[in-house]
Structure 1
Amino acid sequence: MTPAEYDFLRQFLKVRSGLVLSNEKQYLIESRLLPVARKAGVPSIAGLVAKLRDPRESLLADAVVEAMTTNESFFFRDKTPFEHLTQMMLPELLQKRAAQRKIRIWCAAASTGQEPYSIAMCLKEMGSKIAGWRFEIVGTDLSNDVLDRARSGVYTQFEVQRGLPIQMLLKYFTQNGDSWQISSEIRQMVQYRKMNLLDTFAGLGQFDIVFCRNVLIYFDQPTKVDVLSRVSKLLPDDGYLVLGAAETVVGLTDAFRTLPDRRGLYMTNGSAPAAAARPAAVATAAAAAPGQRFAVIGRGSA
Structure 2
Amino acid sequence: MTDRTAPQAESPAREAWRMFSRNVPALIGLAILTAIVAMTLYGQFVYAGDAFEIVWAPHEPPGVTPDFPLGTDYLGRDIVAGLMTGGGPTLAIGAAAAAITMVIGITLGAFAGYYGGWVDNLLMRLTEFFQVLPALLFAMVLVTLFSPSLVTIALAIGIVSWPQTARLARAEFLKIRELEYVTAARAVGARNGRIIWKVILPNAAPPLIVSATLTVGVAILFEAGLSFLGLGDPNTMSWGLMIGANRQYILDAWWPVTFPGLMIFLTVFAVSLVGDGLNDAFNPKLRGR
Q: TM-score range by the shorter chain?
A: under 0.3
Structure with the greater alpha carbon radius of gyration:
2
Q: So what's the TM-score if we normalise by structure 2?
A: 0.23
Higher helix share: 2
